């Protein structure tokens, strides 16, 4: 499982330009709010957790996201993919949530639920430990690096779409991604060091 995050995609600018353009060109305006909800509810819930929304608050913040989607959907012009547009709303709502929790002097914790893995209890335990470690690594990242890493590596948006969602130049997004990758790898390496010493 750690390999899924640490074996990263190549954010090649040359490839990215074509991929982003094709995705935008094929995007159509959604027929209804119900279609958007059905297609993206899972994405919204998972993304909010990865952006630091506590598990107990995810449904409330997701409701805020979909209220905003319902209100703004008629004005969606297809300048980005629909997923990118939805992710951008999630980013803003997660930021608002973090500001609220900081004012209340709370520390949001968000460990994503883990589906039962094949292989029995040991596999489930390993998956859960990995998810906890990933959430801690994400929580330790600066906000802007975390957003780019989550959208590119976990939500698998193209870099052009990531930059559009977070509102920065593409090469700024590349810089944030590379910094985030380095810190995530270091976090996993530090966590694995005690186990490696025990095995030796």
HSE-CB at 74 with a 13 A cutoff on CA atoms is: 1
Please say if the pLDDT value at position 112 is more than 90: no
In percent, the amount of the chain with pLDDT more than 70 equals 70
Task: Please provide the average confidence, as pLDDT, over all residues in the chain.
Answer: 80
60 versus 125: which is more confidently predicted? 60
Report, as an integer, the average pLDDT of 36-46. Answer: 95
Listed in sequence order, the residues at least 6 apart from 73 whose beta carbon sits closer than 8 Å to its beta carbon are 30, 33, 36
Q: Average the pLDDT over 118-141 and give the result.
A: 76
pLDDT band at 28 (very low <50, low <70, confident <90, very high): low
Alpha-carbon gap, residue 91 to 47, rounded angstroms? 9
Q: Do 55 and 135 touch, CB atoms closer than 8 A?
A: no
pTM of the model: 0.74
Predicted confidence (pLDDT) at residue 174 exceeds the cutoff of 60: yes
Other Cβ atoms less than 10 A from the Cβ of 28: the count is 7
User: Is 122 a residue whose pLDDT tops 80?
Assistant: no
Cα gap 179→161, rounded to integer Å: 19
pLDDT at 107 exceeding the cut of 70: no
90-97 average pLDDT score: 96
Q: Residue ranges of the domains in the chain?
A: 2-199
Q: Which of 180, 151, 176, 191 is nearest to 20 (CA)?
A: 151
The mean per-residue pLDDT over the stretch 172-198 comes to: 86
Q: Are 44 and 70 in contact (CB under 8 A)?
A: no
More confident site: 200 or 3: 200
- Supply φ then ψ for residue 165, to 5 degrees: -65, -40
């Amino acid at each position: 499982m750690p390999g899924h995050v640490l074996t990263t995609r190549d954010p090649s600018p040359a490839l990215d330009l074509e991929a982003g353009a094709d995705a935008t060109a094929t995007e159509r305006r959604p027929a209804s709010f119900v279609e958007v909800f059905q297609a993206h509810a899972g994405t919204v819930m998972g993304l909010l957790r990865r952006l630091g929304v506590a598990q107990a608050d995810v449904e409330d913040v997701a409701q805020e996201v979909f209220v905003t989607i319902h209100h703004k959907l008629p004005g969606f012009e297809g300048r980005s993919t629909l997923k990118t547009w939805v992710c951008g709303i999630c980013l803003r709502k997660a930021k608002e949530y973090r500001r609220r929790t900081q004012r209340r002097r709370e520390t949001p914790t968000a460990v994503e639920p883990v589906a039962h893995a094949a292989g029995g209890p040991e596999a489930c335990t390993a998956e859960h430990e990995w998810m906890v470690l990933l959430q801690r690594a994400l929580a330790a990242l600066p906000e802007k690096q975390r957003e780019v890493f989550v959208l590119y590596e976990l939500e698998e948006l193209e870099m052009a779409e990531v930059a559009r969602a977070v509102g920065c130049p593409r090469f700024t997004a590349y810089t944030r991604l590379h910094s985030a990758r380095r810190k995530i790898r270091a976090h996993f390496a530090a966590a694995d060091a005690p186990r490696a010493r025990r095995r030796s």
